[in-house]
Structure 1
Amino acid sequence: MRQEIAQILPGLRRFAYSLTGSMADADDVLQSTVERLLTREMPEDADIGPWAFRVCRNVWIDECRARKVRREAAERPELSEGQVVQGEQETSSAIELNRVETAMARLPEDQRQIIALVALQGFSYGEVAEILAIRKGTVMSRLARARAALSELLKAASPETLP
């Protein structure tokens, strides 16, 4: 199992980055994912790849929830003794890559997840449906909407207009 995990690590890291938008955060999500993969028992009927990506997605959802709690604590100083330090988001040196990343970030999370799994990771629609626990038809429609929206964002945005 460790060898299988090692083989899918680059793909998991790219997926974590597509979710977080930050290499530092992606590495944290990846580390937590690998820890869970190694310490928890894999379901008997699961394939390691889709299961690992599902675990990664769940780790990210947990992190988002934790961030929300920390943000609320920071807004209410009576609940927190310290300040919440916000991380910096790394920027890409390639202008085109930066444009795509920014456009991807503007997509709704459900579309961003699907386009990352299909276009970046190369999973089939069926595998994505299994990872996200949705129907294959839903994967196909969200992917079509994500591609169209991404195309429009990239057409409308020049490097100067994207932050």
Structure 2
Amino acid sequence: MTANATINNDIAALLPRLRRFARTIVFNRDDADDLVQIAVERALARSAQWQPDTRLDSWIFRIMKNAWIDEVRARIRRDKLFAPEDAGEHVGDQAAEAQQQRMAVEKAVGMLSEEHRMVVALVLVDGMPYKEASEVLEIPMGTLTSRLVRARAALQEILSDQQRTAT
């Protein structure tokens, strides 16, 4: 039998021990099987580096340990580079999101009473000063401010309800 055939058979005989070792350090069966495969592939590819007077099992276990360290480091780098999947939940086109918010506000304003819609339209949308808005609506300044307070509260309530039903 050739040296390559001997080492291949010796590696095959070590598979149960390699699997047990991998499952102990990895905890995940699929990852452990992948780790065994990587270690065996590396051992076969580098079989010329193995010294026949040394223990084959120790050599392959060291290859497996180093392969696992490489994998852990790679996972750490990936976690630093990429956000977890759920972090992308609200990522999207900002213009589309702004459009959705604008439509939600318009819908909420449409649900206000006529008096509140007028105050919101003049003061919050158009940016008219309180004094001018009270003159346009022909109401006292105090009435304008109280309507504005109630309109803002109603808008917050409507938008909160919309947010709760959307999620």
- TM-score category, normalised to shorter length: 0.3 to 0.5
Work out which of the two has the higher radius of gyration on C-alpha atoms and give 1 or 2: 2
Structure with the bigger RCO (C-alpha within 8 Å, sep 6+) is: 1
| TM-score (norm. length: structure 2) | 0.43
| TM-score (norm. length: structure 1) | 0.44
Structure that is richer in helix per residue: 2
